[in-house]
Amino acid sequence: MELLDGRFELKEIAKLEGHTDRVWSLAWNPATGVGGIPLVFASCSGDKTVRIWEQSPSSGSWNCKAVLEETHTRTVRSCAWSPNGKLLATASFDATTAIWENTGGDYECVSTLEGHENEIKSVAWNASGSLLATCSRDRTVWIWEVLPGNEYECVSVLQGHTQDVKMVQWHPTMDLLFSCSYDNTVKVWAGDDDNDDWHCVQTLDESNNGHSSTVWALSFNATGDKMVSCSDDLTLKIWETDETKLHSEAGYSPWRHTCTLSGYHDRTIFSVHWSRNGIIASGAADDAIRLFVENQEKGIDRSSFQLLFKKEKAHSMDVNSVQWSPGEKVLLASASDDGTIRIWELVPIS
């Protein structure tokens, strides 16, 4: 699909209802959408539940296959699938993270991770599924090692953020952990050779063209040499690193700011996700979804991006999460304060 040559729009293909409070977040199961396995995702909400949704391969319609309830006692803020799609981690304001095992359509809570002092805001698995990260209003980031028998051991408590930590994300190929915070910064954390000792290797803040208010989310491009972050300061920022150096003996190549997308958003940007085919989606408190693509013009040294499409009133309230699906046919899912999840298809305007 030559994105810059044509005009595109987002076509709504489903509106999913069931949650009885705002939907905070959603996560696609990465092992679905290929080889005849139907697409599956999980959504989590202020109603203290997690819902599992599956697309029917024959009709294309979406059904709620399971409701995970009576485990978390407060808002479930974040959810994440392990890379093989067998485990789902859910993080709650009740200060616990639950691990659910998918056994042929049934979901059983097999582990509960305790330790944070208060609300957990985000949870993420590393690329190999051997490590889990959580972050909290208690200003810390915890790294958990996944052991046999559904055991989880905290291997590091990372301190450095001076405020509420909003999101953790692992690099798509390496064991580098990124956290973003109410303190306006993004921090990069790396482990030693055994992944036993973790420390902050870089802080992206206002002094290196970073954000001037809460950083809500970040996402990587497919190769992992570019990253986008979104903020309460109404901007998206693009960061780049030297991918070859990142994999070399030197171990770490710093990230540098290359582009700021400002003037596009009117209210807080809560979510940003970079698709494998290079489209950045953003979800914001102005109820809109926006899509951006990189300009491919030759001779431009610095990266620049342009708005591909803006979907006004994508939801009737704030858009909290936007996520591109895995699989052969790429769909966008969005979750909102209006309690619904919507599934979108990017189609050329004919």
Partner 1 sequence: MVSGLINANPVVYQKKERRARNTPCDSDEYAVESIDQLEIFDHIRDIKDPEHPYSLEELKVITEDAVEVDDGLSYVRVTFTPTVEHCSMATIIGLCLRVKLMRSLPSRYKVDIRVAPGSHATEAAVNKQLNDKERVAAALENPNLLDMVDECLAPSYS
Q: Is 178 in the site for partner 1 (CB under 8 A)?
A: no
Start-to-end CA distance of the chain, whole Å, equals: 14
Q: Going residue by residue from 326 to 345, which x/- string records binding to partner 1, judged by CB under 8 A?
A: -----------xx-------
Q: Do residues 38 and 57 make contact, with C-beta atoms less than 8 angstroms apart? A: yes
Binding mask 278-317 for partner 1 (x = CB under 8 A): -------xx-----------------------------xx
Number of residues that bind partner 1 (CB under 8 A): 25
Rounded least distance, CB 340 to partner 1, Å: 12
Query: Cα–Cα distance between 158 and 21 in angstroms, integer?
Result: 32
Taking the least distance from each CB to partner 1, the nearer of 5 and 312 is: 312
Q: Does 232 contact partner 1 by CB under 8 A?
A: yes
77 binds partner 1 (CB under 8 A): yes
Contact in structure between 312 and 282 (CB atoms under 8 Å) = no
Q: Which amino acid is at 82?
A: S
- Return phi, psi of residue 37, to 5°: -80, 125
Each residue 126-155 as x (binds partner 1 by CB under 8 A) or -, in order, gives -----------x------------------
Decide if residue 214 touches partner 1 (CB under 8 A): yes
Count each helix (H run) and each strand (E run) in the chain, helices first. 1, 28
Q: Is 61 helix (H, G, I), strand (E, B) or coil?
A: coil
Choice between 179 and 214, CB closer to partner 1: 214
What gap in Å lies between CA 27 and CA 45, rounded to an integer?
A: 12
Smallest distance from the beta carbon of 118 to partner 1, in angstroms? 8
Under the criterion CB under 8 A, does residue 233 sit at the interface with partner 1?
A: no
Element (H, E) at 310: strand 305-311
225 belongs to the binding site for partner 1 (CB under 8 A)? no
Helix residue spans in the chain (DSSP H): 243-246
The pair phi, psi for residue 194, each rounded to 5°, is -90, 5
Positions touching partner 1 (CB under 8 A) are 22, 46, 74-75, 77, 93, 118-119, 121, 137, 164, 166, 182, 213-214, 232, 267-268, 285-286, 316-318, 337-338
